[in-house]
Amino acid sequence: MEGFVLFLVISMEVLGAAAGVLLPPPIPPPYLALAWSSSLVVSTALTIGGVSYASGGAGILDSTNAGNNIPLSKQVQYFNATRSKMIAAVGSGAVNTLLSRSVVLIGAGGNDLGTFYRSPPEQQSDVATFYGSLMSNYSAAITDLYTLGARKFAITNLGLVGCLPVNGVLDTAGACSDLRNQLGAGFNDAVRNMLADLAARLPGFRYSLGDASGLMVDTFADPPASGFTDVAGECCGGDQRVDCSPNSTVCANRDHYYFWDAVHISQEAAKQRAEAFYDGPAKYTTPINFKQLVWST
């Protein structure tokens, strides 16, 4: 789903070195590929400069797609385990300095919303309680990361979740679901307020919030301006709108599609989103952009 949990920590030193030679930083490897060896976890965190705790299908709530992913709360526990191994190897002072200068990237909420609007109608009546549960868990996770030494948080909100191609199957009335977009907008408002509250309460807490929804609105208003010829269908899966699999039909030019499959944006769309959030127009990030966050002290 749009907004799957993505949580990784990237060392500012690695970002800075990459920026100096105009090359992208190395992609942080997945934690579970390293966890079998404490020395491998430590060397990766210190030399490659980051570890990814991302888990497709995961949510802010542990109950979201339970049993099929690593929820945000567990990802934070894995981060704590990484931190402990690093402290054992190089000492708390060096680790605390590194973490305070690193960036934590989190994108979450889409899977939680997907589970919510697939639930029985009677369970969808109390949206306020649902938002409250999400923000309670989300705020707790970020606060835990702060307590463990993180200070810089790059957060992405949800895009237009009602415009995902899967809605063509879930909703026969049209390509976009206004109800789902409204649900996503309410979530985004709650995240913005939550981050402002954390910044007011936690000394040294810095963040940048990327507006995926606003960027999608602008892109969909004039797709060719961004190089897209299709912003409704998916590249992989064809008109059947089924899961992308090895035997699925794939479009001829994936860079012209905004969506890769029924629930994920394409590589080109993700690239444009990253560029907008890192150093793009000010309207797509608040209160600062990702680049300013990286270099903040």
Tens-digit pLDDT profile for residues 43-70: 888 877 788 999 989 999 999 998 889 9
What's the chain's average pLDDT? Answer: 88
The pLDDT value given to residue 15: 47
What average pLDDT score do residues 227-254 get?
84
Q: Say whether pLDDT at 175 is over 80.
A: no
The pLDDT value given to residue 4: 39
The answer to whether residue 252 is domain-embedded is no
Q: Tell me the whole-structure pTM to 2 decimals.
A: 0.90
Q: Say whether pLDDT at 226 is over 90.
A: yes
The answer to whether residue 116 is domain-embedded is yes
Identify the residue whose tokens are 């949580």. 7
The answer to whether residue 168 is domain-embedded is yes
Give 192: exposed, middle or buried? Use CB within 10 Å, 0-12, 13-18, 19+: middle
CA angle 186, 190, 194 (to 5 degrees): 170
| Residue 270 vs residue 24, higher pLDDT | 270
What's the CA gap between 1 and 112, in Å, rounded? 9
The answer to whether residue 248 is domain-embedded is no
- Quote the DSSP letter at residue 185: H
Nearest to 216 by CA among 153, 125, 284, 137: 284
Pairing of strands 6-10, 103-107: antiparallel
Q: Which long-range contacts (CB under 8 A, 24 or more apart) does 247-256 make?
A: 255/227, 256/227, 256/228, 256/229, 256/230
The answer to whether residue 231 is domain-embedded is no
The answer to whether residue 49 is domain-embedded is yes
The answer to whether residue 68 is domain-embedded is yes
| Residue 36 vs residue 223, higher pLDDT | 223
Looking at the 3D structure of the chain, how many domains does it have?
1
The answer to whether residue 91 is domain-embedded is yes
Containing domain of residue 281, as a range? 6-212+266-295
